[in-house]
Amino acid sequence: MRHIPNAITVLRVLLIPVLAWLLMERNYAGAFAVFALAAASDFADGVIARRFQLVTEFGARLDPIADKLTMLVATVMLAVLGWVPEWLAAAIVLRDVVIVSGAVAYHMVVGRVDIAPTWLSKLNTALEFAVLTLVLADAASAADFRAVMPWLFVLVFCTVVASGLQYVWVWGRKARAHARGRG
């Protein structure tokens, strides 16, 4: 029982290449199903881990990596296939590059990095998952969301930029405070 949330997270990681392959094959119905399963399993592993106090350091580290890789693969592939605007895909990738680069720099200069997601980051992640799900549903001909997609793309872009700037601001302040504490 103790490892169930971790097993679900590992399964989600294993679904990433399946998602990429389905998208390369333009099997949008399959990709939609796999992406929906990944999103549902993300929710399930979190609920199980918290409810039954099965949170582990492994799961806490792998879960956000699984989320980011799933969304990164879906975003980039859908942009290449013309379903997501390239400017949005670029913003999403750039945000993640800035956060990872900042975390590495912080670790090298200051020390241990414990990045806890902010409410804005959680909102951004939820919106990205939701919009990518709608895009995949549309691509799979399960629904028609084309009329609202431009607005949703702009909304996601705004949360991507805002949450990226928030991380830069918060961790920049922490680094400056640490530097002042040493000097």
DSSP 84: S
DSSP 83: S
**For the whole model, what pTM was predicted?**
0.89
Range of the domain at 84: 4-182
Q: How many domains does the chain have?
A: 1
pLDDT digits (tens, 9 = 90+) for 123-174: 999 999 999 999 999 999 999 999 999 999 999 999 999 999 999 999 889 8
User: Measured between alpha carbons, how far is 86 from 174 in angstroms, rounded to an integer?
Assistant: 33
- Give CA separation, 165 vs 44, 156, 160, in Å: 30, 14, 9
Q: What is the CATH number of the domain that holds 63?
A: 1.20.120.1760
